[in-house]
Amino acid sequence: MDDDCWIRLPDEGNRCKISGLSRTGLSELLEEADPLTGEKYVLSQRKQKPGATRAVRLINKKSLQDYLRRSAEDQRGYQWASHITNPHGYSIDDVLSDVELFLCFFGPDNEVTEKDWNIGKLSSRRARLAALLAVGSLVPTDH
């Protein structure tokens, strides 16, 4: 199977063989878009036969792999700032994925609404990473 083919969402209760994400997690990932351009990070398309009530969601395998690779590279280039206490050893990925953890590292004075998290200015992982950099919770690693 080559990299530029299309794969289906996994069946309910199964995980994607490429990303390891659940059907719901992968569906949420398909909605993430660049906050500046609005361009989706992972390409997908909905295919439906004429007159059918159901459709199939197809995901471009290469764009999914590219997104996962970029996400890993984005996180490797940063570390927690020296003033940040992290007694539980949360990874950057943990914090970017969970709104309550994110709020702890983003700061109590920064108000985040559910809209910001789900469909607004912090809806993508890259936007959350940029926000943590802006408030000084993360710093670029020295290479």
In tens, the pLDDT along 49-60 reads 999 999 999 999
pLDDT band with cut points at 50, 70 and 90 for residue 143: very low
Residues in the chain: 143
* Inter-residue contact 117 to 123 (CB < 8 Å): yes
pLDDT above 90 (res 47)? yes
* DSSP classification of residue 118: H
Give the DSSP letter string of 62-77: HHHHHHHHHHHHHHHT
pLDDT band with cut points at 50, 70 and 90 for residue 1: very low
**3-state secondary structure at position 129:** helix
Task: Give the pLDDT confidence of 83-111 residue by residue, as tens digits.
Answer: 998 888 888 888 888 888 898 899 877 88
Put simply, whether the predicted model's pTM sits higher than 0.75 gets the answer no
**What average pLDDT does range 29-50 have in this prediction?**
86
Extract the tokens encoding 65: 């792999």
**What average pLDDT does range 100-125 have in this prediction?**
82
Contacts of residue 55, defined as CB under 8 A and 6 or more positions apart, other chains included, come to 46, 47, 48
pLDDT above 90 (res 77)? no
Percentage with pLDDT > 90 across the chain: 24
Separation of CA 67 from chain center: 9
